[in-house]
Structure 1
Amino acid sequence: MMKKIQAALWTTATALAVSQRGPLPPRLPCSGESCYSVTSLEPHFFPDLQPERYKVRYGPFAVPSSFEDRDAEKSFYFRSAPPCIDCYVTNIQIDLESPNGTYANTPNGIFLSHLVMMNLEVDSVTCPLMAEPVFASGNERAEADLSLHGTYKAGYYLSHTTLLLFTSEFLNTTPFPSDAIIAIDYEFVPASLATDSGFKKVTPVWLDVAGLCSSEIFTAQVPASRTSPEFSLSMAPAWEADLSGDIISVTGHVNDGGENIEFSRNGTVVCDSRASYGDTSGDWGYAGYQKTTEHISSMSTCSFETGRIENGDLFSVTANYNLTKHRGLEDARGKLSPVRGVGLMYVIKDEQ
């Protein structure tokens, strides 16, 4: 177990977060140093399979003002038992709240730069030195729709021994410290019923412009610069697939200023995950504590139209930025943050 954890962690801070505590209770939907609360909700899908749905809140995280903190974006690492055991997670949705339960977003001066959830029990298929990324999102608050809203019997399997590791990064553009709660909505069905009904396991495939085995989650690339407002970042070398199966869902993530992230198979774009900006009032934010700019509000996804993975296929991602069209992410002092480009493909392996 210890060897697995050590191989899975990408940063010294993450290693410390794990080594400082012993095993977690395996049967609680919220446990660990950052467990906050659990709320039971009405499930949406597969009513004949005894589905359950929890909103699990993690935190609170004390995010310092980027006026005061030298590092504009503040990172937090924590681990927890999974929301269920011996189950298939069919849907994951992230949100951000204040400790009193109210909605939190850029109008409050708080910004979720990114969150990654990993399964320490399983190796990533694209980097054996890394734990398997299960879910990732930025302030667009993505949804991992693994069952295509209950129309396809598929989900991510969590075992009796699964241990989840979370890495998150916030930006606070107000003059004052702020507390933030990460709220994740999980829906799932028990494996005993799901397997008998023909459920299939989803395998996540992580792709990153910084490289498949980069030293830090969501590794930042070249600093955003107004002197070169249009640029692209591509993953190199490409990942050579050692599995085959159907691609059920694809989603990407870029920082503010990004237009899209392209997923390529053997040099041909098979999914274009595009950023939308300022679709709601909650996506308008503050720079220097003045309401000035819109932020990414969503990323488009692809599903079965993406096609298949075959053994030997070469997959890569390219993130395209235009800082003239869309203002980059800034801290309270107006400093531009670095940029990123990552994506997750969810695959149903053929051998199931």
Structure 2
Amino acid sequence: MNTYIKDIAYYLPQTEISNEVIVRDFPEWSVEKIASKVGVDKRHVAAEDETASDMAVKAAEILFQRGNIRKEDIDFVLFCTQSPDYKLPTSACMIQHQLGLRKDIGALDFNLGCSGFVYGLSLAKGLMAGGIASNVLLLTAETYNKYLHPKDKGNRTIFGDAASATVIGMSGFAQIGEFSLGTDGSGANNLIVRSGGSRIPEAKNDIRFDENGNPISSDYLYMNGSEIFTFTLDNVPSLVNDTLVNNGLEKETINQFVFHQANKYMLNFLRKKLEIEQDRFYYCLSKFGNTVSSSIPIALIEAIDDGTIHEGDNVLLAGFGVGYSWAGTVLRFSKS
């Protein structure tokens, strides 16, 4: 069964943090250094009382207001987040009610980060192939900034909060191809928030600072940048190759590569390692930062709107990160 992206939208929180604001807290940084090294000029941050599910609902409402699909046609909700409102109930169930969707539908959360959008496409395709759903609403939303220590200058320059909404159906503007998926849980400790779950339920209050002045705490997001970089270089090239093979394509037949928008340095290194020309490798993190599971759908929308992606194009998606997990697929944009 062929499955397609029917429509896609995103939502950004109202609060915008520019590099000028960041350097007030970290005068050892400069606006130019952040822009050149990280590739981010500004990022959006969720309000104190704004949750991932709130943002997902807003993204979905933007999508429905366009009128390309009706709420009553949705028969499954998938919500990708690592920032759930509660340990229970499932955020997707609350979203169903908040959006006023039918009650005779499925709804579930899945906990993935930077690979989450591509994984979500694979889940939606599977639901449709199994005859379980005809129109799947895939939502992604993260509020990683709530996990960051105020003195974490590295991660505060990188991450932005955002949400996206995508409808996958039996017709649309981009056909979803075959997938390549991967997992390596041995790297779990290299990108983690340790406390707050069942293993460490209470806050540890164990903040310390490394030799560079970066905070390390069980109660906030910890990222081992060098290990994440090594993981990415070890796995993304084979992910791209496997995705091409699974779709019966050569690298030269891909019009655009849309990767998870991690940071400028990593993306540039990957592009050069894969020998992809710059005009076929899409960047848009300067306006949004690393928005985790929402970075690929936001990049897709931006690339469509600015004319980078055209009708008839093959677009390879690659998500990778926390878990470790990685996922790739190809979108074939319809010809008029």
Shorter-chain TM-score range: 0.3 to 0.5
TM-score (norm 2): 0.32
Q: More strand per residue: 1 or 2? A: 1
Higher relative contact order (CA 8 A, sep 6+): 2
TM-score (norm 1): 0.31
